[in-house]
Amino acid sequence: MWSLEEANLKIARLREMPYGTGRTAAAEFIARTIQNEGPEQKLPEALLELVEAYVFGTPNPASFATFSQLLRLWDTHPEYFSEHDGRTLFWQFKWVTGDLAAWPQISRQQARGLLDEMRKRYAVAGFSAAAVDRAEYMWAGHLGLDEEAERWRAIWLAHGEDDMDCGSCKIGGTLREYVVAGEFEQAVALGAPTEDLCNREPANSHRQLALAYLHLGDGEAAGRQLARAQATSGGHYDPDDLGMEFEILARGGQLHAALDLLAAHGQRALQLEGDPGDNRGFLRYLVAGLAWTVEEQRQLPTRLPQSYTLGELYDWAVQQSVPLARAFDERAGNRRFTESLEAAQQEPRLADLVVVSEKNTGLNLSTGTRAHGAAQPVADQRGAASIKHDGDADPYVTADGFLAAGDLVQAAYWYERAGEAREAADQLMEAGIAFADAAQSLAQLRERGQAAELFERAWELLLAGGAPARLLLAVLAARAQVAELLGQYKGLEAAVLAARARAEAEHNQLEQADAEPWQVAGAATLVTHADDLLARLYAAEGKYYDAAQLAGEVAKTYEQAGQSARCGAALLLAGQCARDAGQSTQATQLLEGAVAALDAAQCKESKAKALNLLIEMLNKTGQTHRVQDLLDGLL
């Protein structure tokens, strides 16, 4: 049995974990242990944490049973609940009733019983019915009972402000209603919430406004709203957030950016690991985003494991959506979900979305200090950012000025001119640097084909110009990112091996010259970096066995050098690749090492990712009994 202090410490550590498989498993472990062994007065807190882990991390209908257990505990042992616990219980009532819409296997009769229970308990506890009336409104709207939904909406809004009703979510919900109803001017006039913000707002509202502006033909305003959504979301995407941003980007003509978003953040959503409601909504966003262009660009590569082309992605999304829509139709007693899917397949392209991003600071490949004095941003007659260029000025300095002003188009142009001038002057390494900077600017503009060509040109010049290994590896890392986005890796392995050979030669020279130990160690690290890059290239190409082997060796080198964070990252890569290569035992061992190394390095996000994968591997290989020991050691 844990002491009260031990239980408090474990719950505190649980709250530090990101939502996901690891946090949910830890919450289950803590709740189960306290329930079986005590201290029993901590059980409400543990169960509340478990409900939160289910709702925001790994959707599971067990959240309803867990919440029912909490209600029974509230009735039998109210003394176990602190004032904060009691308020949290009633706040979570809203989450649980809101999730009724997500699970079509929950009958309307069961939902009715929970809503009635919520109303009764809110009244007994002395809370107003505002949150209950909102739950009634949302449930009726989900079922397509329009008149009933409107009646409950009027009752809910008549309450005004209420402590148990999130004001920001009220604005966000109203915005969504306006957008769904096609009332885009009203949505824009309402705007996003600015006070009492929560875990959903204002990011959700900015996404709604982005879509509204697109419908109104204002691609620049839509881009600004999307940038604000991304800036306020904290980098966390649930399937609804991800799907809506995909639709905004895709219907705004930014298909490559939309596919990049899925590749970067959509692994779990594309595996349909959400609840049925999340999955249905996410898939509908995909269908709506791609419907206008699927026939014209059916062969466009996606780089997604579910589908290699845009046409395959669209067909997959439709096929997966149909049975989900029918399941929700059956409960609702109508065809509203099927009709919604059919409507998504007819959605048109909207205005050209102007993607807004933070000012790019560039790759900074040069070994010296960049000067910005010769190129200063001014306003031209059109009000656009431009640069005065002196005919005698170094075009590289001019490019730096444009880069500092955030004008990537002009920066790419002048970096390329600088590369041409330096190549003509037989300054090969300097020319390579300029072309690489031009390529990186183009990559930021998503002009990947041109970027790849310039990176290749830069590479030959850098090699011929005797560029040091550190510079070669920096350029290769940037070039590899573009190659991965294009799915084109030709020539990269040979390039990495060439950089590695140069790094090894530099290391040998320093050893023979009896250089300072720190210099020798630094040179050795570059050799390891080259191997690390090669392992990641193998992984991108799908050579999972080779990638796992090499990444494991890289991890050992990092471990010997005392670099826990890099060791953990390499082990995580090795574990993922071993899993994908079908080597379950090896994958488990590598992921265990990754969790330990990343824990020692205090890399919370990476550790959580490794822990999620490890727990999933243990569960899939029938080693669920090991999860408890693993978590007991970490919490």
Each residue's pLDDT tens digit, 543-602: 999 999 999 999 999 999 999 999 999 999 999 999 999 999 999 999 999 999 999 999
CA distance linking residue 73 with residue 588, whole number of Å: 38
Instruction: Give tens-digit pLDDT for 260-273.
Output: 899 888 988 999 98
CA distance linking residue 3 with residue 12, whole number of Å: 14
The per-residue pLDDT for 531 is 96
- By CB atoms closer than 10 A (0-12, 13-18, 19+), residue 70 is buried
CA distance linking residue 283 with residue 107, whole number of Å: 23
The per-residue pLDDT for 624 is 85
Residue ranges of the domains in the chain?
Answer: 360-488
Rg of the chain, C-alpha, whole Å: 28
For the CA atoms of 576, 605, 168, 118, what is the dihedral angle to 10 degrees? 70
The angle formed by the CA atoms of residues 80, 85 and 87, to the nearest 5 degrees, is: 130
- Say if residues 365 and 358 touch (Cβ distance below 8 Å): no
The per-residue pLDDT for 391 is 55
**DSSP assigned state of 349:** P
Residue 170: φ, ψ to 5°: -65, -45
The per-residue pLDDT for 419 is 95
The per-residue pLDDT for 365 is 32
Buried b (16+ CB within 10 A) or exposed e, 495-518: bbebbbebbbebbeebeeeeeeee
CA distance linking residue 438 with residue 397, whole number of Å: 13
Q: Which two tokens stand for residue 21?
A: 């498989």
Four-way CATH pick for 360-488: 1.20.140, 1.25.40, 3.30.70, 1.10.3470 = 1.25.40
- Which stretch of DSSP H or E encloses residue 309? strand 307-309
The per-residue pLDDT for 392 is 62
Q: Which two tokens stand for residue 488?
A: 């084109």
The per-residue pLDDT for 380 is 35
CA 221 to chain centre: 23
Q: Which two tokens stand for residue 375?
A: 């190129």
- Taking the chain (635 residues) in runs of 10, the rounded mean pLDDT of each run is 91 91 93 93 96 91 94 95 95 94 95 96 94 95 94 91 81 88 93 80 92 95 92 82 96 93 90 93 97 95 84 96 97 96 96 69 31 32 39 84 89 94 95 96 89 95 95 94 88 95 94 90 93 95 94 95 94 96 94 94 90 91 86 82
> Distance of CA 83 to CAs 5, 87, 90, 132, Å?
19, 6, 11, 21
Residue 309: φ, ψ to 5°: -130, 165
